[in-house]
Amino acid sequence: MNNFEFKNPTKIIFGKNTIEKLKTEIPQDAKVLLLYGGGSIKKNGIYDQVKTALTNVNVIEFGGIPANPEYATLMEALKVIKDQNINYLLAVGGGSVIDGTKFLSAAAVYNGDTPWDILTKNIRTNKGMPFGTVLTLPATGSEMNSGAVITRAETKEKLAMGGPGLFPEFSILDPQVITSIPRRQLANGLTDAFTHVLEQYMTYPIGALLQDRFAESILQTLVEVAPSVLKDPTDYQAASNFMWSCTMALNGLIQKGVPTDWAVHAMGHELTALFGIDHARTLAVIAPSHYKFNFESKKEKLAQYGERIWNITEGNTEDKAYEAIAKTEAFFHELGIDTKLSNYTKEYEGTAEKISKRFTDRGWTALGEHQTLTPEKVEKIIKMAY
Amino acid sequence: MNNFEFKNPTKIIFGKNTIEKLKTEIPQDAKVLLLYGGGSIKKNGIYDQVKTALTNVNVIEFGGIPANPEYATLMEALKVIKDQNINYLLAVGGGSVIDGTKFLSAAAVYNGDTPWDILTKNIRTNKGMPFGTVLTLPATGSEMNSGAVITRAETKEKLAMGGPGLFPEFSILDPQVITSIPRRQLANGLTDAFTHVLEQYMTYPIGALLQDRFAESILQTLVEVAPSVLKDPTDYQAASNFMWSCTMALNGLIQKGVPTDWAVHAMGHELTALFGIDHARTLAVIAPSHYKFNFESKKEKLAQYGERIWNITEGNTEDKAYEAIAKTEAFFHELGIDTKLSNYTKEYEGTAEKISKRFTDRGWTALGEHQTLTPEKVEKIIKMAY
């Protein structure tokens, strides 16, 4: 086990009809900017629940944050924050709205030339503008971590940011919100959370027995509840386990003391930036090829995963590892998620070279848990994923 | 799954040679009271590491906090805090020193008649004097929670306290500290952590699939590393998994959204108060009888535990549940822990009646996850444990 530090101060408020607790979490004298996405919260009743809970608070609204939160849109929100002297942010949405809110939390207190620096110069935020969240889509784990990913259409870039000052003060998780989520988004959420765990687990054995088992617990639970979540989102037991699994998949706990990969995300982000493919689906496209390409260095963990998640008992380590990759791909297919780039676009030729060059240009020459994944290897993996 | 709230702001600093990080965690201008136990830290080098890290900080010392932290001793420490204008506490020890420090954190800011109120009147502390810990004995989980148990010899009482203001600001966990811990204490630590998990898990199914698996992950890991921990405490892999498992067993996570029991602890505390039996050993005495007595209401979880922890595959639910209790008792025996009260004292006659009466006197008439465990039932369980 590697040395580690862990601190996660976010207060989770989990369960049925918990949105009303907003009124005790946000200071009565706050001037709040309520941030949301495309407006689905106005149809599914969540907006009304939020407004009712905040009856006595000064709230200004900013809707329209798109999936893959867009820098240009966020700059408009930043102007509202400054013009209106906002001092508290409330994200009501999924990972995109929450990530966008984290950017705003950082940008609101940033004193440099341009907030774009936060993304390109790896500016860590030690204390941002305080914010809370009401999660409407289980998937990214953003509701209980301090990281975010922001997209800039102008340059077709998708960049990460974070810092210890960007944990939500609180996050309200009412599993009932999933009843109004389209099946496609639910499948994305399941895939996203599943792949988040894989990024922190599918590396090499390091004797972190408890972390491995926690990671496997999340994978097992997602596999167990996935059919019920897709079939009947009103199944509260399935919904609550789905929601809590998504949060635990990326709140920092399972990555502590172990090597992590994250190359699947690095490659996947480019597919979203280039083709607009849903984030989760890009992960399902990249992961199988990534594991096949890096088979030798990952085969012990792949086999352990095969045994513990997919109950594979036959064969040697290699056999189990190969079968585990096949089972993973089959699981994505069962969720209705395609795992080849050509399923999503006819314009895939040249993508591998393009992404490889971007990584070279950014100096990303050593990705993955061994820091040996070069742009040349990235090119091969993406071609395998065509 | 039940609704829940979860917040745990303690910063964990985990790994080899981490005690030196004290110097960046404690404010340089703090006036610190360093609290410790019987002085073993002066023999095993931990004291020296702490003092070296705090070279530039104003530190006063208070040693001699006994196992089952004693109210009278703590009142002496409280006098030092007030006389010397202490504003930061540092616990260097196991659960007893840390629990004692939590009491002092609360007592230092308490304005009522007597600090004894904190224990007898269930005073919750929302903001105590800040404190950190250096853990020297993995067992209780006190290093990452906000609860404590204090003993008063004068009245032979052992009472619980807590509050959201009593989380350590940081806890330093260097697994190398276990190399100097006597085998008896290591066995106690393993038993204590194992039973902590059972108290939050061995109840009835509520569809909290992830919490169940997290609990089982800790149990599996403790069972896996126990032989190595006892045989060779210098085995870092075993030590680190043992230490992290003990912390995760009682940092609040696995109890969220599920029913909890804690009747084993309630009864066990009395055996410590009456006979001075090590805390962990009282749990091993009570647990098997408690599970046999409450078999009907706990058999589903007992069987699940038998299947997942002890790989029991034969028989029906009842068979698996009985076998699971037998396996648990056998595990304690393998650790060198006796599971009958008569193994510890010849004066056990009348104990059941005495404890039952105490519970009646305190109004503890409805313990356990169903709040149906009456003093009459407690009497029967303790007799079964003779």
Q: What is the CATH number for B47?
A: 3.40.50.1970
Q: Do both A131 and A251 map to the same domain?
A: no
Is-contact B133 B90, C-beta < 8 A?
A: yes
Give φ, ψ of A168 to 5 degrees: -60, 145
| Section B200-218 average pLDDT | 98
* A336: its two tokens: 């209705």
Q: Are residues A36 and A168 in the same domain?
A: yes
pLDDT of residue B159: 86
Average pLDDT of B160-170?
A: 96
Instruction: Grade residue A157 by pLDDT with cuts at 50, 70 and 90.
Output: confident
The answer to whether residues A118 and A261 belong to one domain is no
Residue B1 counted as domain residue: no
Residue B181 has φ and ψ, to the nearest 5°, of: -85, 130
Do B155 and B189 sit in the same domain of this protein? no
pLDDT at residue A125 greater than cutoff 90: yes
Question: A-side interface with B, Cβ within 8 Å?
Answer: 1-16, 18, 207-211, 213-214, 216-218, 220-221, 224-225, 236-237, 240-241, 244-245, 248, 256-257
> How much is the average pLDDT of B91-96?
96
If asked whether residues A245 and A327 sit together in one domain, one would say yes
Check whether B263 has a pLDDT greater than 90.
yes
Number of domains in chain B: 2
Q: What ipTM was assigned to the predicted interfaces of this complex?
A: 0.97
What does pLDDT average to over chain A? 96
Residues A98 and A242 in one domain: no
Q: What's the average model confidence in pLDDT over A239-247?
A: 98
Q: Where does a domain end: A131, A150, A176? A: A176
Q: Is residue A1 in a domain?
A: no
* pLDDT at position B155: 85
Of B123, B160, B157, B119, which Cα lies nearest the Cα of B140?
B160
Boundary-marking domain end, from A142, A176, A210: A176
Read off the pLDDT of residues B347-383 as tens digits, 9 standing for 90 and up: 999 999 999 999 999 899 999 999 999 999 999 999 9
Q: Specify the pLDDT at position A315.
A: 97
How do strand A31-36 and strand A58-62 relate by DSSP bridges?
Answer: parallel
Name the band, by pLDDT with cuts 50, 70 and 90, for residue A159: confident
Per the CB < 8 A criterion, the answer to whether B178 and B241 are in contact is: no
CA distance A147 to A101: 11
Reported as a pLDDT band with limits 50, 70 and 90, residue A110 is: very high
Please determine, for residue B248, whether its predicted confidence score (pLDDT) is greater than 90: yes
**Is residue B153's pLDDT more than 90?**
no
Which residues on chain B are in Cβ contact (under 8 Å) with A6?
11-12, 14
Mean pLDDT for the stretch of residues A11-33: 96
Residues A194 and A56 placed together within one structural domain of the fold: no
Q: Which chain B residues are Cβ-neighbours of A257 within 8 angstroms?
A: 14-15, 240, 244
For residue B5, being part of any structural domain is answered with no
Q: Residue B195: which of B228, B218, B163 has the closest Cα? A: B218
Give the model's pLDDT for residue A176.
97
Asked whether residue B306 is domain-assigned, the answer is yes
8 Å CB contact of A9 and B7:
yes
Is residue A3 situated within a structural domain?
no
Distance of CA B82 to the CA centre of its chain: 28
Check whether B39 has a pLDDT greater than 90.
no
B171 and B188 in a single domain? The answer is no
Run of H or E residues at A226: helix A209-231
Q: How confident is the model at residue A318 (pLDDT cuts 50, 70, 90)?
A: very high
Query: Is B244 within 8 Å of A7 when comparing Cβ atoms?
Result: no
B1, B11, B225 ranked by CB distance to A240: nearest? B1
Tell me the residue range of the domain where A55 lies: 11-176
Q: Band the pLDDT of A52: cuts 50, 70, 90.
A: very high
- Chain A hits for B245, Cβ within 8 Å: 210
Distance separating alpha carbons of residues A228 and A236, to the nearest angstrom: 10
At residue B215, the pLDDT reads: 98
Q: Which two tokens stand for residue B350?
A: 């009348």
Last residue of a domain, one of A118, A145, A176: A176
Residue B156 has pLDDT above 90, yes or no: no
Residue A167 above 90 pLDDT?
yes
If asked whether residues B167 and B190 sit together in one domain, one would say no
What b-and-e string marks burial along A129-153, b requiring 16 or more CB atoms within 10 Å of the CB? bbbbbbbbbbbbbbbbbbbbbbbbe
A217–B220 CB contact, under 8 Å: no
Residue A68 has pLDDT above 90, yes or no: no
Could you say which of A4, A11, A209 has the minimum Cβ distance to residue B224?
A209
Q: How far is CA B185 from CA B180, B192, B275, B287, B336, in A?
A: 10, 10, 18, 19, 11
Q: CA of B239, closest CA in chain A: separation in Å? A: 10
Tokens of A190: 């399941």
Same domain for A37 and A109? Answer: yes
d(CA B207, CA B213): 11
- Whole-angstrom distance, CA of residue B30 vs CA of residue B47: 19
The answer as to whether B73 is a domain residue is: yes
For residue B68, the model assigns a pLDDT of 85
Which element (helix H / strand E) includes B293? helix B279-293
Give the containing element (helix H, strand E) for B200. helix B183-201
pTM of the shown model: 0.97
Would the pLDDT of B67 be above 90? no
Residue B220 belongs to domain with CATH number:
1.20.1090.10
Same domain, B249 and B150: no
In which band, very low, low, confident or very high, does the pLDDT at A224 lie, cut at 50, 70 and 90?
A: very high
Same domain, yes or no, for B34 and B100? yes
To which residue do tokens 């953003």 refer? A142
Residue B3, in any domain of the structure: no
Whether residue B109 lies inside any domain: the answer is yes
